[in-house]
Amino acid sequence: MVTRQRGRPRSFDRLTALEQATMAFWEHGYETTSVADLTRVMGISAPSLYSAFGDKRTLFEEVVEAYAGSYGSYGDRAFTEEPTARGAIGRLLRESAELFTESGHPRGCLMISAAVNCSTPEVEEALRARREANLTSFEARIRRDVEAGELAPGTDARALARFSGAVLQGMSQQARDGATREDLAAVAEWAMRSWPAAAPGEGQGEGQGMTPAAAPEKAPETPAGRGA
């Protein structure tokens, strides 16, 4: 006996459609991206969208997960591969200068820009929770380095973590405003110059133990890091 298949087979590639939705949310944010916008860029009907992804919010949740595992995965790699907080956060900022400005996708960070003017509490809170989790990771790594003597005793781990997060968020917005990779790479270098040294009188090389007031008047012409 032949069993008839229920429903119609999908006529679109789900991963491609998800990538197209990612681009839409990344460019326009959650609130101003409508279901009509999504079906247009994804090339599918509204019933197909609901069948494959659920509603707009559940689609966005999947987009965020996909973004974290692809475009945003460089942050996890930096914290996994770099032995110190200085190395991990410095690498994160330098590589952000590249991601936030490279061609082929919208500028800035989806998890930062998609939350702008968002009036849906569940979405706003979910994105805030992700950003706060990042700050918690920054702070934990900084505290560990203080305990290990990599950073000076008395370093305010919470303030340094929030400073680093503020730089990252500012870089995302500046990228959307038209800042170049070179502009943002210089911001990353200046940010890392404000980090405390491992101990008084030690680690005073480039990028260590310098405050903004003590830094050279001219920013480095060739920022360090990948692609410099």
Q: Tens of pLDDT along the chain (228 residues)?
A: 444 444 454 567 999 999 999 999 999 999 999 999 999 999 999 999 999 999 999 999 999 999 999 999 999 999 999 999 999 999 999 999 999 999 999 999 999 988 777 778 898 899 999 999 999 999 999 999 999 999 999 999 999 999 999 999 999 999 999 999 999 999 999 999 999 876 554 444 433 433 333 333 343 333 333 332
Handedness of CA 74, 79, 80, 83 (dihedral sign): positive
Cα(147)–Cα(162) distance, rounded to whole angstroms? 19
Closest CA to 109 of 79, 139, 64: 64
Cα(169)–Cα(132) distance, rounded to whole angstroms? 12
Cα(151)–Cα(146) distance, rounded to whole angstroms? 5
Cα(191)–Cα(53) distance, rounded to whole angstroms? 40
For 131, phi and psi rounded to 5 degrees? -65, -40
**DSSP sequence for 170-194:** HHHHHHHTT--HHHHHHHHHHHHHT
